[in-house]
Every structure is written in structure tokens, then in C-alpha cells.
Homo-oligomer: A and B are copies of this chain.
Amino acid sequence: MNWIEGKKCSAEDAAAMIQDGDILGVSGFTLAGYPKAVPLALAARAEKLHVAGESFQVTLYAGASTGDSCDGALSRAGALKLRMPYQSNPSLRKGINDGSIRYIDAHLGKMGYLVRTGAVPAPTVAVIEVSAILPDGRVCLSTSGGNSVCYLDMAPKIILELNTRLGESCIGMHDDALPELPPHAKPLPVYSAGDRVGSEFVKIDVNKVIAVVENDAYDEVTPFVEPDDVSRNIGERILDFIRFEESHGRLPKGMAYQSGVGKVANAVLCAMANDERLGRIDLFTEVIQEAVLPLLKKGKLGVASGTALTLSQAAQQEFVQNAADWKKHFVLRQQEVSNSPDIIRRVGVISMNTALEADIFGNVNSSLVCGSAMMNGIGGSADFARNCALGFFLTPSVAKGGAISSIVPYVSHVDHTEHDTQIFVTEQGLADLRGLASEDRARLIIKNCAHPDFREPLTDFLEYGLKHAKGRHLPLALDRAFEMHNRFLETGKML
């Protein structure tokens, strides 16, 4: 009997090996490749203990968001003390915003670095979904890279979840390299989306493995939705602008694309797949989303490099069936590499991320509703926004049927400062902020990006600031900065 068979046990038995106060380092990134059986069993164990009057809570580090059987179940069981970084689960979000779960929203590219350098405590147990375990102690990760290599290395105990549904579909897709730590760190020689610099398997210390649990589940990803008119409109504006820049010699050929999570970003990729003039493209991104498949099927995908392959259940089936042919087009990296500032700079990335709200001076809020309530998190948007060659922030101009303007006098939380943003796009139009001072930016954003209903109040705010703010450099009037937000909190409408 090899070591693997000797460690096999039920999810319940594995969950029983986790103690109150443990720090779990789990696999998983944007609903792809997270452990599915052990967290569910752990949630049940926590509920029983709580009923019996015993305390049981763990800290959960992930790659990014995990599915409901991990983030959701543990949140509902009251089993989470602290969660870090990015999440997107309704139950977890509720706990974060009612103050019962602590949440730290770190840059996704920096999470592993924080753990490896001791800036945050190391995980005590790694719980990692894998698609293969070899007798010599190598494992193949499943549908995401995340921080799994870091957690497998740093945690003194390891629980492996072997996803038997995946077969050999993931073998050959991963690249396990991590950047060297400073001081005097040598760079990883990744210059293009397709460059591989590590191994396709991760070598683990088998003496640390305390359990091997099988699951055959799908990543709990919602079905893919075709882009709506607003998203399609935004996607087409971006492609038009890229062509314009290329024609003026400001954008060399060979840049790779990054697109953030969500329907607008998906729409851009769909627009690319449908664009006859666009040749073959590479992606250098964090999440490889479903919209990459049309590109692949039309022969327009070079390589998609990312840290997660986030597909609907139907597309997961399709991927496993076609993996032998398709996987040469994919590289799944650790998120310290997919989101590495220096690799993003060197590869050359055209970056497209969704804004929750943007202000007339160029700041962007990606994460907090009305400055205090967490939506999902900053994700990797800042890794890309500051280090990309060309950067877009996208948002429909209004939300909640027109009650909320996405363009505001001043964002209620700053995730991206005016120093890091370049181009705003809404279905109303596009504002290229590069080379513009604050007042000029404000006039352009109001004119090109704001919804017509909000242009007058936004202009009124700007004119008031030019008269009453302490300085005119960035004419923000503090006494009226959050007037629209406060009106929304009181009446449900910004106007």
C-alpha cells in the first residue's frame, strides 16, 4: 500500500483533524479549484460543536473567492474568524458586513508574499484540491493555481482533496514557479503569456499529508450569460480605442490582454471573438473566463495565461472532453506570478477592470458600497491597473435603474488613485485621462462617461469646488463630497 492509500479517509474524518484556531490555507481562485468536501464537513463539525456550546472558528486564507460549499458553508456555520483575501459569496459577504467575520482585502498578487515573508501568520493546515497525486509525492493542482504552492510549502499539515472528475485534463496546464523573495531576488524569465519557467507538478513533503479525501464535484460557477447591450457597447468602444491607439503608433503589437471578473469584461472578450479584423491574441490575466472559449474555437487564441480557469458547469464538462486538444493554449500559474507587478510590466498588458464607481477626478472604487459595505474585494485590479501598458476601467453609467450614478463627485472608497487610472469607459462614451490635469479630467468624464441625468449635478459640484475648495488643483469641495451618496443612503436615490 503506497502512502496515498494509507492517508485516504472521509471528509468527516479529515475535518476532525482541524482544530479550533487553525489557519487554513486553501486552494481556489474565483470559484475554480477549491476544496469542496472537507470545508463542507468542517462546517457541519463547527455547527455541532457550537450547539454543544464549544467554540470553533478558523482563519481562512484562499487564492481568491471559493464556492458556496467552502466560503458559504463555513460562513453560515459561524466557523470563520478571519478571511483573506478576495471573496464573492453572499453568506460570507453578510458576515463581513455585519461585523461577525473579519476580512482583510489584500492585493491578490501579494497574498502569498505576505505569507512567505511572515507579514501574516503561516497557515497551520493546507487544504488543497488536486487533480492527480503521484506516488513519488508530486501532485497536479486542479482548475486554479492560486497560492497553493505557497500554502503547501508553508503549512506543517496538508489535506489533499483529489477531484476524480478531472482525470488527466489538468496535467500539463500548470506552472508551479514562484518569484524569489528579496533581498537580491532574480526575476522569473516570463516575457510572454506562454513562457513556462517551472514544473507542471508540485513536489510536496508527503510526511506532512494527514489526509487524502476524494471528491467528484464541479466548481460551483453560475451559467454563462450572453453580454447585454450595455456590456457589448462598452466592449466595442474599447476595441475601437485600441485600434485608434495602434494606428497612431502608441500601442506596439504583441501586448497581451487582461480582463477582470464580470459580465462587462466577458463582453470585451466576446467582442474580440466576433471581430474579423483582430488577429490571434494572447491573454495574460488572473481569471480565464468562459468567454475565452469562443476565441479558442475560432482559432483566435494564442495562449491564455492565468491563475484560474473559471467555467460554467457545461463548459467544465466540455473542457474535460476536449482537454487533450485545448490545454496547450493554457498556462495556469501561481497568483504571485499571474499578478506579479514586474511580469505584468514586462509582458505588456492591456488591462480591463470593472469599477464599482469612479469619480470625476479619476479615482476608482472597486470594492466598497457607500464606503463601508464590502462587495467582493479589490482582487487583482490594482496589480494590473498600475503596471499595465494601457488600462481601462469599465462600468455602466448608472445602476439600480438609474437611481445610482457610477460617476460620482468623489468615490466613497479609493482602491485606485487618480495616479493609477488611464481610461474610463461607460456605455455613454470613453474618457482618456492621460496627460490631463484634474479640472480637465473632470469635464471630460462628465461629458463623455456620465449618464445625461447626472451631468448637470456633477458639473454643479465641480463649479462649486472651483469656487469654494481650498485649492483649485483638484477642486474637491469637502463639505459636499458625499452629498450624492448621503442622499442615496437616505432616500434610495442619488438625485
Contact = CB atoms under 8 A, between A and B. Distances in A.
A475 interface: yes
A371 B437 contact: no
A303 to B, nearest CB: 13
B469 A372 contact: yes
A384 to B, nearest CB: 13
Interface stretch (A9-17, A93-101, A227-235, A394-402): A93-101
Contact of A103 (B187, B435, B473): B473
Given A368-B474, A435-B119, A347 B104 contact: no
A255 interface: yes
A342 B340 CA distance: 9
B97 A185 contact: no
A186 interface: yes
Range class of the A interface residue count: 35 or more
Interface in A407-441: 412-420, 422, 434-437, 439-440
Contacts of A120: 434-435
Copies in the complex: 2
A363 B277 CA distance: 44
Contacts of A473: 96-97, 99, 103, 368, 372-374
Given A186-B191, A440-B102, A414 B412 contact: no
Interface stretch (A40-48, A163-171, A289-297, A479-487): A479-487
A334 to B, nearest CB: 16
A6 interface: no
16 contacts: A102-B439, A105-B419, A118-B249, A118-B250, A120-B435, A121-B435, A182-B345, A184-B254, A185-B345, A341-B342, A342-B346, A372-B476, A372-B477, A373-B469, A413-B474, A416-B417
